[in-house]
Structure 1
Amino acid sequence: MEHVAAAQPLLIALILTWSAYGKLTSPDQATRTALPRLLSFVTADGEARAITAYRTVAVLEILIALLLLASWAIGAVAAVALSVGFVGFLIYSKVVVPEASCGCAGKSARPVGNRAIARALLLLATSAPATFATANWWSAGTGLLVLVVEAAAFAVLSAELDRYWLLPIRRLRIGLSHPYAGTASDHTPLVATQRRVLLSPAYRAVDGLLRSDIHDYWDDDGWRFVSYAARYDGRRATAVFAVPHEDSTPESVRVALVDDDGLTVYRPTVLATA
């Protein structure tokens, strides 16, 4: 068990570095998170301050990662504190600003869901044992093998990595079966979801960019996601509509266009109701 605890700082440092990289290379993601709303309680210019706060978190993640790689005990304690902050922020986002994206590690148009919260909890669960480690991570020996399983768990819980493993699986499924076959997990017929999409302001906002009918669909954390082939700025893209199960109003439907790398290239912020 001691070897497992000693190995944790390496994994945590890599995850925090990846998270910091996403924040520093895509700082505009801050405005799509719940940060502006949260900062509005302490400053009148919450949206403008959000990007600065976002970058500050990234720098903090890098500093903690360096402490962990240097095997300083304070690094593990700081990682626990940061993980608690992540969990609290994501729960706040899901409850108070349900349409906000995670902004955890790169570009993602998805609202905060259970996967993002579970990932933050997993980071906390791996950080806690590291505070009791008495050996350096490079001396962990067989304990490093456990990191492979933990890294796989992080990957499964990271929506930002879906395009590397989950989307290929879904494309294979589409190739083997008709996309209209069956229904999703909550037994809502796909045709009902399609009707809600067609009646939504979100659909009207991107109608001229669509180049196909429904290409794929899936359920996740109370939402149904429906994708269409699209073109944006002369490039191939995918339009992803987010349709909440618990809100049947047309205005509740959200849409984002992503490129082949999964990066958001267009996301209407103001959707007309007529």
Structure 2
Amino acid sequence: MTDTNERPAVTVIGMGNMGSAVARAYLERGYRTTVWNRTADKAEALADAGAAVASTAAKAVAASPVTVLSLLDNTAVEDVLESVGDAASGRTLVSLTSGSPAQARANEAWATEHGAAYVDGKVMGDPPDVGTSRISLAFSGDRDAFEAVEPVLTELGSLTYHGPDSGFAAVEFNAQVAMGYEFLIGYLHTLSLVEAEGMDLEAFTDRLAGSLNGYAGLLRMMAGAIKSGTYGPDLGSLDVQAALMDDLIGHRESTGVETVRMREVKSLMDRRIAQGHGDQGFSSMFELLRLRP
């Protein structure tokens, strides 16, 4: 039997649904797992599974070379870090908490000031899937620190490292999630139109799902055009697309479906055409979305 002290050690702070799943994944894989939660009874629930429950966040961090923070938001991370203080020295902190790129960089600065290494991470998946390939985790930050803790993090799912800028994991996560919301709200608006015309929603969705694979090549082409600044007539020229938008807006108005998003697209097209770029395609409207200093 392996001596308890020979097993790898990890600390998990935050016993919400995700943090508890992370802690259980480590326990199931034989890690000496220390846990801490602001509300003590949530941490105590892990004691029956074999976790050691620390009385303070500082003691929890001191108990292991690696601490995983899975908290509600970055404000909670900041509160924990403040309470940990110098106990973080010589340790590696890995945050799986949602937040902005700027917050990740601020956390890294705090860790550096207190003699700790910091890796920022974001989880794409659901707590029941932690520890399987169905969970995707994005990481960024100091490469040496990441590579040192990679074997520990691999226990949780499929990893992607996005580079030494600690904010990049948050950029990846926020962009992926935002794209999902943009797509899904557009889908709901479209279903409103289909329903208003009396067509079957499920049959329409089956047809729509069958066409989605065709967008992969278009997205790659658009990204290439934006990177190079050379815009061809993808989806057709804006001059032609603008006329189509009038039809789409009119159709929605006739069925009582809101037109805010379609009017926004039409407004961008009109602005780009007015700039003399009516021969370019949809991707060229990216130029109107850039934040200018």
Q: TM class by shorter-chain length?
A: under 0.3
Larger radius of gyration: 2
Query: What TM-score do you get using the length of structure 2 for normalisation?
Result: 0.25
Query: What TM-score do you get using the length of structure 1 for normalisation?
Result: 0.26
Q: RCO (CA 8 Å, sep 6+): is it higher in 1 or 2?
A: 1
